[in-house]
Amino acid sequence: MDIDLNCLLVFRHLAQSGSFTETGKRWNVSQPAVSVMIGRLESAAGLILLERSNAGTKLAADGVLFLEHANEVCEAYLAFIDGMHTIGRRLDRQVLVGIDSSWFGSVLKQKFPTLISPSGVTPIIREISGIWREMLQTTQLDVILASRFLHAGLSSDIQEAVIRKERGITVAWNPAFHSFDEANFSFPEILRNSVLMPDPGVVSNFATSLKVWCEQAYGIQPTNTVEFSSEADAAAAANAGLGVLIAPGDAMPRLGKCGESLTHVRTFEFLLPESFTLGVYCRSDETSRDVLAVAASIVKLGRKLFPQV
């Protein structure tokens, strides 16, 4: 019996989703190719795993038991692949650095050539989205530079070196469209407008936390929220009168030109004294000296570029 392990991944997905189209999309193969892969797997195992009908695909009797073990293999296989890539990188002395799409990230990316890394080590930059914790755990990345809100992304298997912390949140609006009282600012008032926020790629957990916070503290949700892939884009939208910008920490210096004509207040500075953190992350059990050295030099560069105020 010879089993193509990629066929197992496709089978598992098909068994769980029941849809050839969905499975093809997830694994980036055509629908007929999914059929062929399932056929190959059934022939290899000498078992009928799936029954197809117009109503959808369901597991055959033998398929149920097979799936149980296939699940186990799939998990082990994906972990093996990640492990294999990590070994390869270690031998080549490559360190994969994930940098988020925050303002800090883009500044650091520009200054990256000035990074002093140990000789023979090649740090490689990768874009990341809001789910970098899993990417570290599965060894798809070695070092992450990211902004986080509250405790997002922290767990015992990840270590953090803080570059900078900021208090509270920034609320900013275009005075031509909104007339909030800066001196006696009332936060719930702004929730009746469209709320413009950075998305998880910029700062993980911000939008979700804010919604939970509104619910817990005021018993209301913002009428409408829009997430942007950068704080500057969100500020440009606020400028155009599309809503009120809410961003973590002290956002104004990061907005550049887009922020100039906005009125802003800082709020929750005492309630959330460490709401926003820019940090460098790697696995707690990291043993590679190359990875730790690259992480340390990114922390050093970050602290030079973004000193704590």
Partner 1 sequence: MKIGYLLPMNEVTKKIHPDIQQLPSLTLRQMEVFFAVCREGSYANAALELRSTRPNIKRVCEDFQKAVGRPLFEERPDRTLQPTTFANELLTQTGTLSRSLRHLTESVRSLHEKGRILRFAAAGELFKGGLFTDFLARLRISDAFRPCFLRIEANRYRIALLNAECDVYFGAGIVASNRLELVDLGGIPWTFKQGGSVLTKIPSKPADMASGKWWIAETGDPPASESILQALHLAGASGGRILKENSADQPANDEIVLHHDITSPPQPGRRDGWPSFRFSAVLKKQHPYSELMARLTGVALA
Asked if residue 69 binds partner 1 (CB under 8 A), the reply is yes
Asked if residue 184 binds partner 1 (CB under 8 A), the reply is no
- What torsion do the CA atoms of 83, 89, 92, 97 make, to the nearest 10 degrees? -160
| Residues β-bridged to residue 170 | 247, 266
Coil, strand or helix at 145: strand
Amino acid at 49: L
Asked if residue 156 binds partner 1 (CB under 8 A), the reply is no
Using CB under 8 A as the binding rule, the residues of this chain from 1 to 40 that contact partner 1 are 1-6, 9-10, 26-29, 39
Using CB under 8 A as the binding rule, the residues of this chain from 185 to 204 that contact partner 1 are 200, 204
Asked if residue 45 binds partner 1 (CB under 8 A), the reply is yes
- Tell me how crowded residue 237 is: count the other CB atoms within 10 A of its CB: 19
Among 1, 12, 9, 10, residue whose Cα is nearest residue 64: 12
Amino acid at 55: A
Q: Which is nearer to partner 1, 50 or 163 (by Cβ)?
A: 50
Residue 5 burial (C-beta neighbours within 10 Å; 0-12, 13-18, 19+): middle
Q: Which is nearer to partner 1, 141 or 145 (by Cβ)?
A: 141
Count of all residues that appear for the chain in the document: 309
Asked if residue 76 binds partner 1 (CB under 8 A), the reply is yes
Q: Min. distance of Cβ 308 from partner 1 in angstroms?
A: 20
The span of 83-91, 111-119, 166-174, 229-237 binding partner 1 (CB under 8 A) equals 83-91
Which secondary-structure segment (H or E) carries 194? strand 194-198
Asked if residue 108 binds partner 1 (CB under 8 A), the reply is no
16, 21, 32, 83: residue in contact with partner 1 (rule CB under 8 A):
83
17, 18, 22, 73: residue in contact with partner 1 (rule CB under 8 A):
73
Using CB under 8 A as the binding rule, the residues of this chain from 264 to 283 that contact partner 1 are 271
